[in-house]
Chains A and B, each alone.
Chain A
Amino acid sequence: MGKFFAILLIIITLVSVYPIVTHMWWMPEVVSAHGPAVDHQLDETMIGSGVLFITSQFVLAGFIWAFGNHKGKIKNWPGGHKPVVAFGIILVGLEILSLSFVGSKVWASMYITKPDPNALHVDVQAEQFAFFFRYAGPDGVFGSIHPDKINDGSGNYFGLDPENDVAARDDIVVGTLTIPVDTPILLTLHSKDMIHNFYVPELRIQQDIVPGIDIPLHFTATKTGKWEIVCTQLCGLGHYSMKAYLQVMSKPEYDDWLKQQSGD
């Protein structure tokens, strides 16, 4: 029975590792400036913990193979427990040090470093179960938000008050986040109702959108194309269907798009 268990463990371990080594299912392409650092961080962690995983499962298997149903005098771990404890602490300690050191640098680059001062500013409004995006328009000023004016039926998703607020009149509100490539973007995330989340796997970004708080989020897309923005924070019955598209265009394309939007 010991040998069977050991073989089973080894098979399970190898089968578990195979899809990861071959990237059978893997992260989608990375299209953000900070993304590669995240991937690198994940790869490092994967190697480190992968080695730990395989060796520990194999050791377990080996011992079960060797000492299953073994009779007679028991053997003790040579050298007692102290070296083992020390080994564990040092091994994990080192992994922790390296990971948290590199990791915090990546994290800092995403969240702690200030956004580019002349980044393109887009306002994000999340609600059950959609995202809407607002551009300041020609005047470069966002109209202020009045929750009491919010009315999806008349397309006023942000609660603008064009009647009394001049800045609001030329604001552009769309359902697709359209941005120029290689340009620093600064999002301000608002939520109308529940806690939502702004997740774009390709950008390696995930950020909750909390009602009552305006959360800034900055990134730079490095590739043109169309990807999905999905919600990862449980927000109600339509959570699974809450999404929008991220359209990254070349600079000229983007300018045309913007003109055309402020046209009508």
Chain B
Amino acid sequence: MRTKFFILLAVFGLASSAMLVTAARPAGGTITGKVTFTGTPPKMKPIDMSKEPYCQKLHNPPIKTQDVEAGPGDTLEDVVVFISAGDQGSSSASTPVRYDQKGCQYIPHVAVMMVDQPLQIYNEDPNAHNIHPLPKVNAEWNKSQPPGAPPIDTKWDKPEFISVKCNIHPWMHGYFVVLKTSHYGVTGADGTFTIKDVPPGKYTLTAWQEHMGTQTQEVTVSGGAATANFTFKAMPY
């Protein structure tokens, strides 16, 4: 009984001190890299929003489909790169992730968050939307959000890549990427990403693109910066 207690105490102490250490160290290593693709990507089609005149007026010329966002130099935007193995485990974040519905578009297209991290969904449009996440392991839900309705506060309790859809505007499509780790980056328009504060060690890095799937590679971080580039194979259409 008593021994058990001491063991518990020890474990707890170690854990907390470890956290203190990670928190104390301002900048560990950073992983940077670029995500590109080879081959011809699917055409990004212009979205016909004529159902919702308000949104149609906002986007002239019309925005294009975002399932594959190719940039100059065959870079890929909105690819999520994260540590999928080797991570020491990181305390869940408490700052809420904001997800906007604006001009019949999801902003950002891909929202990355940690398990149990608060997620707030806003409707900035003068028309109603419905948010319909289609998870397989988490619980599915489907709520409409009339204009001026309060934000929807929610969170996800299991890691998953969750496709999100608005049925009222079927072209509205995005992703909730729910991760166990706090070490992740999302590629920008130039296809580059940065993962900060990575303690030294050997990690498995995974890059995920909603259309082209995932790729992994080993990366070793020792104090300074490490680089990891990914190259996806694009299928036409």
Question: Which residues of the partner chain B approach A244 to less than 8 Å between Cβ atoms?
Answer: 50-51
**Stretch from B13-21, B41-49, B150-158 contacting the other chain:** B41-49
A155 to B58, CA, bound (A): 19
Contacts A155-B47, A163-B236, A175-B51; is A127 near B170 (CB within 8 Å)? yes
**Cβ of A243 < 8 Å from any Cβ of B?**
yes
Contacts A130-B169, A175-B50, A176-B48; is A155 near B65 (CB within 8 Å)? yes
**Cβ of B92 < 8 Å from any Cβ of A?**
no
The range of chain B's interface size is 20 to 34
| CB-based contact B167/A154 at 8 Å | no
A151 to B169, CA, bound (A): 13
**Cβ of A135 < 8 Å from any Cβ of B?**
no
**Cβ of B165 < 8 Å from any Cβ of A?**
yes
**Cβ of A162 < 8 Å from any Cβ of B?**
yes
For B58-80 the 0/1 string (1 means CB < 8 A from A) is 00000001111000000000000
Q: Can you list 19 A-B contacts with CB-CB less than 8 angstroms, sorted by A residue number?
A: A129-B168, A130-B51, A151-B67, A152-B165, A153-B65, A154-B42, A154-B68, A154-B211, A155-B65, A157-B170, A162-B237, A163-B236, A163-B237, A175-B49, A175-B51, A176-B50, A238-B128, A238-B167, A245-B51
B interface with A by C-beta (< 8 Å): 42, 45-51, 65-68, 127-128, 130, 142, 144, 163, 165, 167-171, 173, 210-211, 236-237
A interface with B by C-beta (< 8 Å): 127-132, 151-155, 157, 161-163, 173-176, 236-238, 241-245, 264
Q: A244-B51, A264-B46 are in contact. List 17 more A-B contacts (CB 8 A).
A: A127-B167, A128-B170, A129-B167, A129-B168, A130-B168, A132-B48, A152-B165, A153-B210, A154-B45, A154-B211, A155-B47, A175-B49, A238-B128, A238-B144, A238-B167, A242-B168, A243-B51
